[in-house]
Amino acid sequence: MSTSTPGMEQNHKTEAPRDVSGDVIYLCSCAVNGVEAEKARIEQMDLHALYHTAQRHMLTAVVARALAAAGVRNPAFIMAEARTVRQTVLMDTEQEKILDRLEEVGIWYMPLKGAVLKNLYPAFGIREMADRDILIDADRGKDVRSIMLELGYSAGKYEEDYHDCYSRPPVYSFEMHRHLIGPMSGKAIYSYYMDIEQRLQKDTGNAYGYHFSAEDFYVFQVTHEYKHFSERGTGLRSLLDTYVYLKNTELDMDYVGAVVKKLGLEGFEQANRSLAMHLFGNGILTDAEQSMLDYVLSCGTYGKDENIAINLLEREGKKGFFVSRLTLPYARMLELYPFLKKVPVLYPFCWLHRLVHALIFKNATVMSQLKAGLTWKGKPEP
């Protein structure tokens, strides 16, 4: 049985591999900068490899837009963009329905991340996303759950983390955030975002909708990206989001600098911003930026399990790694086991349950991280 992608069979080349990631970056840059890609360069590309590399970073629709603008009509890319546009239409309509219900019952809310960023991309529907994120009044989480169930959603994860997950066929998926950040993100970041409501700005045209200032949106974007980057890793889409946002938004960088410094993210913000602007703005990468890009390219959109152990070992050392794997902050345990608020005496049993659950249902992950910890020989010299 053939497993090839429709429309790709005749384009798959067998010569020495090109820099396919470089082709993806080039075409994304063309798409978001309004530059027509060179046909001669596209003709040298392996469209089969291009499709799958773009797909790994959730950038097929952006690449498809660049190809179409250059007059290249490839069936697989055309289908990819059509799917993304269709999903965006459906999710936009559904999101409005959910927000209308929140308005009816008086629950404040704020769309997050991709739900906002998608509007800054140069063509409708080309910013791919698996779900929509909405911050809600944490005290009304049960009411939100009732609304989502009434709308036909299944609660895949409820009160197990700082966000609750709801899904419904064919494409609907929402993460309703009771908080923006969990306690595992570190004390400074966790404390800052626990009282973020006071820094939100009221929408016009509705009663309960809010939004970030341009600067606070960017700071949260950096914070969220760092969380993924420093754990499992993150892919090219995050860098493209950064570039698109900065290209289309005027920011008070003195304010941004002060906040990211307070959060301990000053170095990451500067490195990430510099890489994004050079990468998609046709700049020349420094050695440090190339190293950072190599890591991003190796990860893909959702990162890799082994990065969790490696990144933690490099930050905490072997002793800190094993302590962190065996223990969690009490605030995090309360998120995993909300009933501890009423029966704290069960705290030690929750540790036991977490360990047994991990060994049974996440055995492969547990064993890979254990192996990484035992075989780690220290952080490599720069």
pLDDT of residue 353: 78
Residues 227 and 287 in one domain: yes
201-202 vs 172-177, strand pairing mode = unpaired
Residue 202 has pLDDT above 80, yes or no: yes
Residue 326, domain member (yes or no): yes
Residue 110, domain member (yes or no): yes
Report the CATH number at residue 200: 3.30.460
pLDDT of residue 364: 63
Give mean pLDDT, residues 75-101: 97
- Cα–Cα nearest to 267, from 205, 206, 325, 222: 222
Sole residue written with tokens 């546009």: 85
Out of 303, 338, 364, a domain closes at: 303
Residues 132 and 208 in one domain: yes
Residues 299 and 206 in one domain: no
Q: Which residue has the higher pLDDT, 375 or 233?
A: 233
Give mean pLDDT, residues 285-297: 94
Determine what percent of the chain is predicted with pLDDT higher than 90. Answer: 62
pLDDT band at 222 (very low <50, low <70, confident <90, very high): very high
Sole residue written with tokens 């075409």: 27
pLDDT of residue 316: 63
pLDDT of residue 163: 83
pLDDT of residue 309: 57
Residues 208 and 218 in one domain: no
Give mean pLDDT, residues 252-274: 97
Residues 47 and 120 in one domain: no
Lowest pLDDT segment from 81-85, 172-176, 335-339? 335-339
Residue 49 has pLDDT above 60, yes or no: yes
Residues 67 and 107 in one domain: no
Residue 78 has pLDDT above 50, yes or no: yes
Residues 65 and 95 in one domain: no
Residues 50 and 117 in one domain: no
Angle, helices 305-326 vs 363-375, to 10°: value is 80
- With vertex at residue 328, the alpha carbon angle to CA 332 and CA 349, rounded to the nearest 5 degrees, is 90
- Structurally, the chain folds into a number of domains equal to 4
Q: Which residue has the higher pLDDT, 43 or 338?
A: 43
pTM: 0.81
Give mean pLDDT, residues 127-150: 94
Give mean pLDDT, residues 248-256: 98
Task: Report helix, strand or coil for 84.
Answer: helix
Residue 12 has pLDDT above 90, yes or no: no
Average pLDDT along the chain = 85
pLDDT of residue 13: 41
Long-range CB pairs of 245-249 (<8 Å, 24+ gap) are 245/117, 245/120, 245/217, 245/218, 245/221, 246/218, 246/273, 246/276, 246/277, 247/32, 248/120, 249/120, 249/214, 249/218
Give mean pLDDT, residues 8-14: 41
Lowest pLDDT segment from 9-23, 24-38, 232-246, 272-286? 9-23
pLDDT of residue 284: 92
Residue 330, domain member (yes or no): yes
Using CA atoms, how far residue 232 sits from 132, 286, 300, in Å, is: 20, 24, 10
Q: Which residue has the higher pLDDT, 196 or 372?
A: 196
pLDDT band at 1 (very low <50, low <70, confident <90, very high): very low
Out of 73, 101, 119, a domain closes at: 73
pLDDT digits (tens, 9 = 90+) for 306-327: 665 565 556 666 666 566 666 6
Determine what percent of the chain is predicted with pLDDT higher than 70. Answer: 79
Instruction: Tell me if 311 sits within 8 A of 230, measured CB to CB.
Output: yes
- The residue range of the domain holding 264 is 214-303
pLDDT of residue 5: 41
Distance CA 161, CA 332 (A): 8
Residue 356 has pLDDT above 80, yes or no: no
Residue 169 has pLDDT above 80, yes or no: yes
Distance CA 306, CA 369 (A): 7
What is the identity of the amino acid at 26? Y
Residues 113 and 43 in one domain: no
Residues 164 and 94 in one domain: yes
Give the sign of the dihedral formed by CA 359, CA 362, CA 364, CA 365.
Answer: negative
Residue 26 has pLDDT above 60, yes or no: yes
Long-range CB pairs of 29-32 (<8 Å, 24+ gap) are 29/279, 29/280, 29/281, 29/282, 30/66, 30/69, 30/70, 31/62, 31/63, 31/65, 31/66, 31/69, 31/122, 31/123, 31/126, 32/62, 32/121, 32/122, 32/240, 32/243, 32/244, 32/247, 32/280
Residues 155 and 264 in one domain: no
- Cα–Cα nearest to 189, from 198, 199, 197, 181: 181
Residues 150 and 269 in one domain: no
Out of 212, 240, 270, a domain closes at: 212
Give mean pLDDT, residues 56-60: 96
pLDDT band at 248 (very low <50, low <70, confident <90, very high): very high
Residue 1, domain member (yes or no): no
Residue 79, domain member (yes or no): no
Task: Report helix, strand or coil for 132.
Answer: strand
Distance CA 260, CA 283 (A): 24
Residue 352, domain member (yes or no): yes
Distance CA 297, CA 22 (A): 10
Q: Which residue has the higher pLDDT, 295 or 60?
A: 60
pLDDT of residue 240: 98
Highest mean pLDDT out of 1-10, 154-163, 370-379: 154-163
Residue 80, domain member (yes or no): no
Residue 24, domain member (yes or no): yes
Residue 34 has pLDDT above 70, yes or no: yes
- Cα–Cα nearest to 109, from 182, 177, 190, 196: 177
Residue 382 has pLDDT above 50, yes or no: no
